[in-house]
Structure 1
Amino acid sequence: MENNNVAKSSRITLTSKEKSELIIEGFITIIILLLLNIAIASVSKLLIDDSLTIQNLIFGIKEVLVKTFFSNSFYSLKKFVFFIMLVIDVLIVYWRLIRRYRQMQLRHIITELHFIADGNYNHRIPFELSGDLGKVIDSVNGLVDSTVEAIEEERRIEKSKDELITNISHDIRTPLTSVIGFLGLIEQNKFSSEEELFRYSHTAYTKAQQMKVLVDDLFEYTKVRQSSAPVSLSIFDLNQLLNQLTADFEIEATNHGYSIAVDSKEKSIIIEADPEKLVRLFNNLISNALKYGVGGSKIILESYTNEGNAIITVKNNGQPIPKEALAQLFERFYRVEESRSKATGGSGLGLAIAESIVLLHNGAIRASSNDEWTSFTITIPLKQSSGHV
């Protein structure tokens, strides 16, 4: 849903009915005040005529006020009292009209709220008022913005879930069809030799392994995507971990025509992190380099520290990644090549898992590629915050 903020008007425009209400309100108030003034004047005259003390007090106050603010022409008790009562009456009429006007403003705001509540989430209360009503309008508009954003986020999550299910179904269905097909041939004895039987069972086993890789990656992806995913922190030497990884991948790299090595600017890098998750992170990056770095011969793991962070770059000199693909690399199920070929096929979750692991460590990962190197650079704090465990 698109969020369109309506331009605010300077004030609320009253309807003809509301203007009439204000006029009637003022007229009634004036009549009531006139009657009240007459009553007060009558009662006051009786009290003053009967009390010399009250007369002296009133004349003393009047004399001070007249000498300070007025000319001698006002030196009349009746004129003085009339002036004071007139000021009070004007203030009361003004207060009553403003109070009713505020009530009308509130009524307009409530009408706008009902309109929004009926599902018109693109609408905003268009009035710009001062005081508490202005704060209420700003708060309501802000609340509607937050609600719309939450609805959009929920829709994005639902769409993301649907896409996840669609992609998983697509990736599982193909190998599952092969498994069922070859096992069906075996079940129906549709093989002519033991060699053919072995080929059928081996193909079914290979396809089942592909399904297991996908399920394992999916499980890992959903696990590390949770912001509350457990992180088992320990302190270790990052360079030792990288050296162990290169040793583990040495044979596989050689089979792919690659050499793999660690190039560190420092003898040791002591880091606080989850070693198991970092192993998964670098396994994914190295496996990707071997899978997609067509025509390359080197995989290098560079490491150094900078401003309290460990900087690790996994790079290969294979075929570069197109610029338009770099921004989408960390999206789940995204592959640079359009086909899901058997040679490079995988779950498509490797880099998405890698990014999630980095984020769990409060770090960042970025990709770059040119004719010389395709690089994945990871930045992870050497020490994790005490609240992130």
Structure 2
Amino acid sequence: MKHKWISSLRYKQIFVLIFGAVVSFGMYFAAQAFGDYLISRNHMNEEAAWKRLTNYQNSFENYINKYQVSVKNVRSISKWVKNHKYVYVTIFNGNEIIYESGYWNDAYASYDTATIRDIAFSDGTYSVSIIDSSEIKWYNLVTYASWGVFFLFLFVILIFYNHRIIARIMLLSREVSLIEKGDLEQPIFYKGNDEISLLAKNADNMRNSLITRYQSEKEAWEANSELITSISHDIRTPLTSLIGYLEILDSKSYHSEEQFDKYIKSCKEKSIQLKDLSDRLFQYFLVFGKERILMQMDTFDAKILLQQLFMEYVFDLGNLGFNVKTEFVEQSCSITADIQYLRRLFDNLFSNVRKYAGVDGPVIVNSHIAGNDLIITVTNEIRRDSTFLESTNIGLKTCQKIAEQMNGTFEIEKNGTDFTVRVTFPLESVREE
């Protein structure tokens, strides 16, 4: 399709050129036929031909009588012949030709030469035959005019086609200039499948992409504004309470140890609340930010690293009543990762388990090697009331972005009752090969 689009305009140009040539040749032959018809009707009819021959004979006879030309004076006779371009003069003395000159045409053999006049020269009377070929100049004129018609029609057809091409280009230029000025609502017209249509179609696709991008940026800006407003309000409340509790503790305004413990507990709760809000804000900008995450990539033994990371999460889930089953990779293998972001990935992942997993079902944590990849899966049963819990999936989107920037993948699978997350990292030994 691409090659067809690339060459279609050239094909159209060739077609228009052939079409113009055919039409122009048709007009050429039509003009030729019309000119021949006019010559036959007005110049070659019997009356007109007889009149011209009579005029030539009278002119020649008057010339001979006026200048007393002798039949032997070839120079004077030739002078008259030269002044009459399309005639052929023959002078007879009986059956003997004593002079002939003029414009010769092979068609003369078929001419009726019976129109012979006896003319008195200064040295005797001789028979003179004059043949007229003046139609030659008219046929030549018709031929030149026919070629003029041919080139005129060809020129008009090509100019008309080029005018249409230029008009399409100018229309496209005006429509693109509207986009440049910021008017994205005006669609760009395109029709056909040549290069100009393809260019117009791509320009219209670009216009639609700009509209989509501006709409997305507008929505993102509005979402950012709402998020900042919401989180600013959410942060202000626990922060104000935290500052108040700290001021009480700092001024020792409590009255008992129980009250002291209560304030300490409240400070801890407000601190955890602030941490959750800051994590939420960080995750949001991590997911929707345009910049890549700056990571400090190092090589780790995945067998040791995963056991250290997962045991802490497994212990926390066990304390919350979850039945956790683990199966770690048994052989040593190396992966390249940023340890802080890797920990954040699993923080979000197991936080999602704590919020949305059912306590009755098992939580299965598995890591194994498949081909050239290290695959980590976490499977849990979905809580029956999880559909009523508010979720923006920001945590899972954060996990996906972190995994992809560490050259891995992050996949989610739901089958109705179970929820599975699969994280894949390429093995370092294989990447070096």
TM-score range for the pair, normalised by the shorter chain length: 0.5 to 0.7
The aligned residue for residue 303 of structure 1 is 367
Unaligned 5+ segments in structure 2 are: 1-81, 83-135
Tell me by how many angstroms 1:111 deviates.
5.4
1:366 aligns with 2:400: no
**For residue 377 of structure 1, what is the aligned residue in structure 2?**
422
Aligned-pair distance for 1:318? 6.8
| Residues 351/173 of structure 1: CA separation in 2 closer, same or farther (3 Å cut) | farther
Pick from 265, 271, 274 the counterpart of residue 338 of structure 2. Answer: 274
Cα offset, 1:207, TM superposition: 0.7
Q: Does 1:152 align with 2:197?
A: no
Q: Is the 8 A contact 2:372 2:430 kept in 1?
A: no
Comparing 248-257 with 181-190, greater Cα deviation is found at 181-190
CA separation of 1:120 and 1:296: change in aligned 2, threshold 3 A: same
Give the structure, 1 or 2, with the largest relative contact order (CA under 8 Å, sep 6 or more): 1
C-alpha displacement of 1:138: 2.4
Q: Is the CA contact (8 Å cut-off) linking 1:321 and 1:369 kept in structure 2? A: no
- The structural deviation recorded for 1:123 is 3.4
Partner AA of 2:393 in structure 1: E
Letter in 1 for 2:224: K
SS in 1 for 2:186: coil
Q: Give the aligned partner of residue 309 of structure 2.
A: 245
Deviation at 1:369, TM superposition (A): 6.0
Give 1:101 deviation, angstroms. 4.2
Bigger share in strand = 2
Checking the alignment, whether the CA contact within 8 Å between 1:314 and 1:376 is kept in structure 2 is yes
- Separation in structure 1 between the aligned mates of residue 244 and residue 254 of structure 2, nearest angstrom: 13
Which has more radius of gyration? 2
CA shift in 2, pair 1:356/1:104, >3 Å: closer
CA RMSD, aligned part only? Answer: 4.0
Q: Give percent identity, aligned residues only.
A: 26
Scaled by the length of structure 1, what TM-score is found?
0.61
C-alpha distance in 2, partners of 1:269/1:329? 36
CA distance in structure 1 between the aligned counterparts of 2:375 and 2:230, rounded to whole angstroms: 33
1:143 is the counterpart of 2:206: yes
**2:406 counterpart letter in structure 1:** H
Structure 1 counterpart of 2:292, from 191, 211, 228: 228
The DSSP-based 3-state class of the residue aligned with 2:292 is coil
d(CA) in 2 for partners of 1:231, 1:190: 46
Q: How many residues align?
A: 295
- Tell me the distance in 1 between the aligned counterparts of 2:197 and 2:307: 63
The 3 A distance-change label for structure 1 pair 366 and 131 is: closer
- Code of the aligned partner of 1:375: T
Letter in 1 for 2:216: E
Rate the CA distance shift 1:79–1:377 in 2: closer, same or farther, 3 A: same
> Partners in 1 of 2:324 and 2:300 — Cα distance?
22
1:331 aligns with 2:377: no
Partner of residue 262, structure 2: 199
Give, in whole Å, the separation in 2 of the partners of 1:116 and 1:220: 36
Amino acid in structure 2 at the alignment position of 1:123:
Q
Name stretches of at least 5 consecutive residues in structure 1 with no aligned partner. 1-48, 50-72, 333-349
- Report the CA distance between 1:366 and its aligned residue: 0.8
Question: What per-residue deviation string (whole Å, max 9, x for no partner) do you get for residues 6-58 of structure 1?
Answer: xxxxxxxxxxxxxxxxxxxxxxxxxxxxxxxxxxxxxxxxxxx9xxxxxxxxx
1:87 Cα deviation (Å)?
Answer: 1.0
Cα 1:330–1:375 change in 2 (3 A) is farther
Aligned partner of residue 366 in structure 2, secondary structure: strand
TM-score (norm 2): 0.55
How many angstroms does 1:158 deviate by?
0.9
